[in-house]
Amino acid sequence: MRRAGQPPLPERLTPLAPPLELLVIADDLTGALDTGAQFARAGLRTLVLWEASQVPDAEVLVIDTGTRELPPADARRRLETLVAPWVGVARHLYKKVDSTLRGNVGTELAALLELTGAARAVLAPAFPAQGRTVLDGRLHLHGKPVDLPAGATGGSCATIAALLAARTDLPIAGVPLSHVQSGSVALASFLRGCSGRIVVADAVDDADLARLAEAVALVGPDLLPAGSAGLAAHLPKAWGLAGCRRCSLAPARPVLLVAGTQHPSLVAQLRQLERQRRVKVVGGLLGALLPQGKGVPDERARALAAALVAGEDAVLTTCDQPRLAGGGRLVADLLAEVVRCLVAQVRPGALVITGGEVASAICRGLGAAGIAIEGELEPGIPFGRVLGGMADRLPLVTKGGGFGDEGTLCRILTALEGLTITGQEENSGEQ
């Protein structure tokens, strides 16, 4: 239900227009895609858009607010501007958060609670398929508890509740694992009566997340669900959402891989890729920042184009460069400029990008309006196609820099040897 004083409904929404099943709010592009992929897998037509002023031809709309790296006050203002017109338009709402709690989690949950009028939010960031679990209110990576950075205040927080309390005055509560494992009905009852406005849920495996999803469905719109792709994977079944969207597979080569983060996991994946496959690796991009480096983006683009024309997979990386303190956006923009120059010369068969900020910069640099999500190659690694701009309908795969094992990039390129995305509708809605 829409509250008094809310912005007007998005353009073209009439009583006869089919309602959105779901609105997903994400703070970066890789998160938007890996969560949207959970609904695409259920056969639902799923789109990621940077901004949406019209009701799209989709059952699931994912808005990438791009607020992960913004100061809290700026993040809240941007989220409110982008999301307020959509409150009450979709049947369900899901807040995507980073599985390691990066970004403005507390600030954005508080803003969404105010916008929607929900009584409370349940926060379940666990993503067991990627080694992220929550036990006793603490984040664990591959079974080991980790402290969470406290952001601009410096220091660290041992628990998720402490991290949230640093950014919001709302009361925080927790759902211990014993309650989660008591069953969805008992869990729903606990969540209805909980005193916290934000409730942090333990979860150590997918069975826990499935129970949480069922409890979310039982409680209804008074409870705002928030989490990673892990919880999202169980919501289609809990909410009874199913579509008839499918995609067919055929080769999508050669591949341009943009390794846009310097996470140690990604460095190991690139080394394994070079050992296992013939790829053209192009680095040295940060020379463009030097006074004499004006031509560097064009030079790197030409080197990549030559490899692609020869049918060779190509890698553009900054992993060979020193880390720039606070230079994430600058590096993302440089990578986007090289890719734009490249695509103006030759169109790759598919594009693989690591890192949400880099993926967003590249897609925007190519003039894309959004991305149609078709599914995922493996947990946390979605695929889809670019919508609009100079790379319209180009197959796209993204992943977070820290996701995967040493063989992940090799498996992605192998999968793309048999992938092109031509979505189609089937007559039956059965899965």
Of residues 179 and 302, the one with the higher pLDDT is 179
Give the model's confidence band at 109: pLDDT under 50 very low, under 70 low, under 90 confident, else very high. very high
pLDDT of residue 373: 94
The DSSP line for 219-233 is H-TTEEEEE-HHHHT
Asked whether the predicted pLDDT for residue 118 surpasses 50, the reply is yes
The pLDDT of residue 385 = 92
Residues 6+ apart with CB under 8 A from 387: 47, 368, 369, 370, 371, 372, 393
pLDDT at res. 328: 76
pLDDT of residue 12: 41
pLDDT of 417 over the 50 cut:
yes
> If residue 94 lies in a helix (H) or strand (E), which one and from where to where?
strand 90-96
**185, 208, 243 — which closes off a domain?**
243
Using DSSP, state whether 304 is helix, strand or coil. Answer: helix
6 inside domain: no
Domain boundary among 182, 215, 243: 243
The average pLDDT across 124-140 equals 97
Q: What is the pLDDT of residue 7?
A: 52
Beta-carbon contacts of residue 278 (< 8 Å; ≥ 6 apart): 312, 313
At 248 the pLDDT is 56
Rounded CA-CA distance 181/210 in Å is 10
The pLDDT of residue 87: 86
Do 264 and 145 lie in one domain? The reply is no
pLDDT exceeds 70 at position 54: no
pLDDT, one tens digit per residue, over 196-219 is 999 999 999 999 999 999 999 999
Binning pLDDT at 50, 70 and 90, where does residue 431 land? very low
Residue 8 falls inside a structural domain: no
In a domain, 198, yes or no: yes
Q: Above 80 in pLDDT, residue 150?
A: no
Residues 400 and 266 in one domain: yes
3-state SS assignment for residue 388? coil
Residue 415 or residue 431, greater confidence: 415
Give the chain's mean pLDDT: 87
Residue 106 has pLDDT above 80, yes or no: yes
Q: CA triplet 155, 156, 158: central angle to 5 degrees?
A: 150
Cβ atoms 113, 93 nearer than 8 A: no
For the ranges 208-217, 270-279, 366-375, the maximum mean pLDDT occurs at 208-217
Residues 314-329: tens digit of each pLDDT: 999 988 766 655 567 8
Residue 123 and residue 223 share a domain = yes
Task: Say how far residue 422 (Cα) sits from the centre of its chain.
Answer: 22
Per DSSP (E only), the strands in 264-363 are: 279-282, 313-317, 350-354
Q: How far apart are CA 109 and CA 197, in angstroms?
A: 10
Q: What is the pLDDT of residues 212-250, one digit of tens each?
A: 999 999 999 999 999 999 999 999 999 999 887 666 555
Together in a domain, 238 and 256: no
pLDDT, average across residues 68-75: 95
- pLDDT for 256 equals 96
DSSP of 192-222, one letter per residue?
HH-S-SEEEE-BSSHHHHHHHHHHHHHH-TT
Residue 83: give its domain's CATH number. 3.40.50.10840
Q: Are 313 and 282 in contact (CB under 8 A)?
A: no
Q: Please tell me whether residues 296 and 409 are part of one structural domain.
A: yes
* 268 and 180 inside one domain: no
- Residue 423 — pLDDT band, cuts 50, 70, 90? low
Domain of residue 217, residue span: 20-243
CATH of the domain at 402: 3.40.980.20
Identify the pLDDT of residue 2.
45
Residue 318 belongs to a domain = yes
Question: Is residue 10 assigned to a domain?
Answer: no
What residues have CB less than 8 Å from 77, skipping those under 6 apart?
none
End-to-end CA distance of the chain: 31
Does 184 lie in the same domain as 321?
no
3-state DSSP call for residue 426? coil
The residue out of 191, 210, 243 marking a domain boundary is 243
**What is the band of 15 on the pLDDT scale with cuts at 50, 70, 90?**
very low
Give how far Cα 362 sits from Cα of 90, 246, 338, 376, 377, Å: 29, 27, 9, 20, 21
The pTM (predicted TM-score) of the whole model is 0.87
User: How would residue 400 be classed by pLDDT, with cut points 50, 70 and 90?
Assistant: confident
**50 shares a domain with 175:** yes
Q: Which two tokens stand for residue 350?
A: 């598919």
Number of domains in the chain: 2
Q: Is the model more confident about 417 or about 197? A: 197
Task: Report percent pLDDT > 70 for the chain.
Answer: 85
pLDDT the model gives residue 119: 97
Q: Where are the beta strands (DSSP E) in 77-229?
A: 90-96, 120-124, 132-135, 138-141, 144-145, 148-149, 156-157, 172-175, 198-201, 223-227
Assess if residue 11 is contained within a domain: no
In a shared domain, residues 232 and 265: no
Report d(CA 262, CA 389) in Å as an integer. 28
Same domain, 71 and 189: yes
State residue 306's pLDDT score.
94
| CA angle at 407 for the pair 403 and 413, rounded to the nearest 5° | 95
Q: Mean of the pLDDT values across residues 32-58?
A: 88
Q: Are strands 138-141 and 245-246 parallel, antiparallel or unpaired?
A: unpaired
Band the pLDDT of 9: cuts 50, 70, 90. Answer: very low
* DSSP 3-state of 30: helix
Question: Dihedrals φ, ψ of 369, to 5°?
Answer: -90, -20
Strand partners, 376: 382
Identify whether residues 203 and 94 lie together within a single domain: yes
Q: Which residue has the tokens 């039982």?
A: 218
Same domain for 124 and 70, yes or no, is: yes
In a domain, 258, yes or no: yes
Q: What is the pLDDT of residue 192?
A: 96
Please state, as a whole number, how many other Cβ atoms lie within 10 Å of the Cβ of residue 164: 23
